[in-house]
């Protein structure tokens, strides 16, 4: 991702009066975005923010949040929180778990406030920049998943770009619409900005009709939850060429409404950056699956996050991810689990999923948590957070074998998946005892 952000957003952002980014009443040209980035950069320098600091960021709208993000990512780690995040949520998730040094809150008038947290640790590698973003905010429950760590998503964002390019085709897209009223949406804007030569319109649910007819986008890129809510507010018909959604599978009812209200557009699925397993781009009802360069993640011996490309196959999406390929069904169970030199393999039929100790971690151990259905959640977690994570996992009833929860604690990323207790090797008990000594 290092090669995406500086080279395309910083290095090639042109001085232009062409419309670039809108958020309801806010309209910024390329030149204005660049000036806002400069202003925020100057403010950060005066505040004394360093590259080794972690910065929590929240703003009144997507545009301002994104401008500050572009400035901040050049100097420090950034945690983007959705506007209106409750203070207690920030305290619990941001300060205590992510150990941020500063919280920057952009106010409605464009000014901003800095809140400094004393005695918080700084990052050990000040020459690198990292960022997190919140997940699950479009459903109306801020941070109902969790902020996801930097390097894990750089590659996924690149793959999302590959997929979206194939969806939109070779012709430059002049305009695209996104619905992001509750989300900082840094990742989605980076993806669309990289692809587009035109503008990105972020709109509220209530202003969907106004935004569509004012800016006349040909493509709509959003999440299933946002589309579901949009259908309740959209009163005027509008013609779109393509609808692209990411994240959870689209409900049949919502898909039908999209087809009706948007004049029968192509509906594409580009699984988002927060999904685990194979990133997928597929058509729905448009013939044979498309083949791309996207693949499967794995961790090398040196700890580097990589992707494996067995055949490049992409499968059509129905109710569950990869349903056409017959994997990741609701009732699938892990057949076996094996320890590897750098993590754990979970086998589901003939499909492998890796449990890994990312970033050369040493203080993680495997914990098995009871579930009411006599199944078990397996997660990698640090010893001193096991009770917190166990409680969250226990109350989260996963719907499939896809790891749908991430737990980011002390720079450790966690995933959970249902497995059958009888299939668990004895090495798990041994590993737990070793880690607790």
Report yes or no on 5 lying in a domain: no
pLDDT of residue 41: 81
- Token couple for 416: 């959970």
Let me know whether 114 and 61 are in one domain. yes
What is the rounded distance in angstroms from the CA atom of residue 234 to the CA atom of residue 83? 23
pLDDT of residue 264: 92
pLDDT of residue 238: 95
Domain count, the chain: 3
From residue 324, how far is each of 37, 81, 196, 288 by CA, in Å?
45, 35, 31, 11
Let me know whether 157 and 296 are in one domain. yes
Let me know whether 341 and 427 are in one domain. yes
**pTM (predicted TM-score):** 0.56
Rounded (5°) CA angle 138-185-237: 60
- Token couple for 196: 């587009």
Does residue 132 contact residue 148 with C-beta atoms inside 8 Å? Answer: yes
What is the rounded distance in angstroms from the CA atom of residue 182 to the CA atom of residue 139? 9
Let me know whether 278 and 393 are in one domain. no
What is the rounded distance in angstroms from the CA atom of residue 374 to the CA atom of residue 141? 29
Let me know whether 219 and 314 are in one domain. yes
Does residue 120 contact residue 100 with C-beta atoms inside 8 Å? Answer: yes
Report yes or no on 46 lying in a domain: yes
pLDDT of residue 279: 28
Report yes or no on 12 lying in a domain: no
Let me know whether 175 and 79 are in one domain. no
Q: Where are the alpha helices (DSSP H) in 149-275?
A: 150-168, 186-195, 208-215, 224-233, 252-261
Residues of the chain under the 70 pLDDT cut: 1-15, 51-52, 54, 56, 58-60, 73-163, 166, 170-172, 180-187, 247-250, 269-437
Domain stop point among 148, 174, 203: 148
Domain span including residue 186: 152-325
Place of tokens 């990133």: 279
DSSP tally for the chain: helices H, then strands E: 11, 23
From residue 41, how far is each of 37, 61, 67, 200, 323 by CA, in Å?
6, 19, 10, 23, 46
Domain stop point among 148, 183, 213: 148
Domain stop point among 99, 123, 148: 148
What is the rounded distance in angstroms from the CA atom of residue 267 to the CA atom of residue 115? 44
pLDDT of residue 299: 35
Let me know whether 257 and 356 are in one domain. no
Let me know whether 344 and 267 are in one domain. no
Report yes or no on 205 lying in a domain: yes
Let me know whether 303 and 356 are in one domain. no
Helix axes 224-233, 252-261, angle to 10 degrees: 50
User: 29 has which bridge partners?
Assistant: 19
CATH of the domain at 137: 3.40.50.980
Report yes or no on 306 lying in a domain: yes
| pLDDT, tens digit, 9 for 90 and up, residues 155-173 | 456 556 666 776 777 666 7
Report yes or no on 14 lying in a domain: no
From the list 294, 280, 271, 431, the residue with the least C-alpha distance to 366 is 431
Report yes or no on 20 lying in a domain: no
Rounded (5°) CA angle 77-278-252: 105
Report yes or no on 128 lying in a domain: yes
CATH of the domain at 169: 3.40.50.12780
Let me know whether 136 and 156 are in one domain. no
Does residue 90 contact residue 81 with C-beta atoms inside 8 Å? Answer: yes
Let me know whether 195 and 305 are in one domain. yes
Let me know whether 62 and 75 are in one domain. yes
């Amino acid at each position: 991702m290092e090669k995406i952000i500086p080279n395309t957003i910083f290095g090639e952002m042109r001085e232009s009066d062409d419309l670039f980014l809108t958020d309801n009443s806010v309209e910024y040209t390329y030149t204005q975005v660049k000036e806002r980035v400069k202003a925020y950069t100057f403010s950060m320098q005066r505040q004394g923010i360093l590259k080794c600091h972690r910065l929590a960021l929240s703003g009144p709208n997507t545009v301002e949040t994104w401008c500050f993000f572009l400035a901040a990512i050049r100097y420090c780690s950034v945690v983007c929180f959705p506007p209106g995040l409750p203070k207690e949520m920030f305290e619990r998730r941001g300060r205590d778990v992510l150990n941020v040094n500063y919280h920057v809150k952009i106010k409605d008038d464009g000014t901003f406030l800095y809140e400094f947290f004393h005695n918080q640790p700084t990052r050990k590698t000040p020459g690198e920049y990292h960022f997190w973003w919140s997940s699950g905010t479009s459903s109306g429950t801020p941070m109902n998943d969790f902020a996801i760590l930097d390097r894990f998503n750089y590659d996924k964002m690149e793959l999302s770009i590959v997929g979206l390019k194939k969806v939109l085709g070779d012709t430059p897209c002049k305009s695209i619409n996104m619905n992001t009223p509750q989300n900082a949406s840094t990742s989605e804007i980076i993806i669309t900005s990289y692809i587009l030569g035109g503008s990105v319109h972020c709109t509220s649910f209530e202003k969907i009709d106004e935004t569509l007819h004012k800016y006349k986008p040909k493509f709509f890129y959003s999440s299933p939850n946002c589309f579901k809510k949009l259908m309740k507010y959209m009163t005027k018909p509008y013609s779109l060429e393509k609808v692209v959604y990411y994240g959870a599978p689209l409900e049949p009812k919502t898909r039908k409404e999209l087809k009706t209200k948007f004049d029968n557009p192509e509906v594409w699925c580009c699984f988002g950056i927060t999904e685990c397993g194979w990133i997928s781009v597929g058509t729905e009802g448009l013939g044979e699956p498309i083949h791309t360069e996207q693949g499967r993640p794995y961790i090398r011996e040196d700890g580097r996050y990589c992707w494996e490309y067995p055949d490049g196959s992409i499968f059509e999406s129905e109710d569950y991810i990869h349903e056409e390929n017959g994997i990741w069904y609701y009732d699938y169970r892990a057949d076996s689990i094996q320890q590897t030199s750098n993590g754990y393999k979970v086998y589901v039929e003939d499909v492998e999923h890796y449990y890994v100790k990312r970033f050369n971690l040493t203080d993680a151990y495997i914990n098995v948590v009871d579930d009411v259905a006599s199944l078990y959640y397996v997660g990698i977690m640090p010893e001193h957070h096991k009770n917190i994570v166990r409680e969250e996992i226990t109350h989260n009833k996963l719907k499939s074998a896809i790891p749908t929860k991430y737990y980011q604690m002390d720079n450790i990323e966690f995933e959970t998946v249902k497995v059958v207790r009888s299939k668990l090797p004895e090495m798990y008990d041994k590993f737990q005892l070793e880690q607790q000594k």
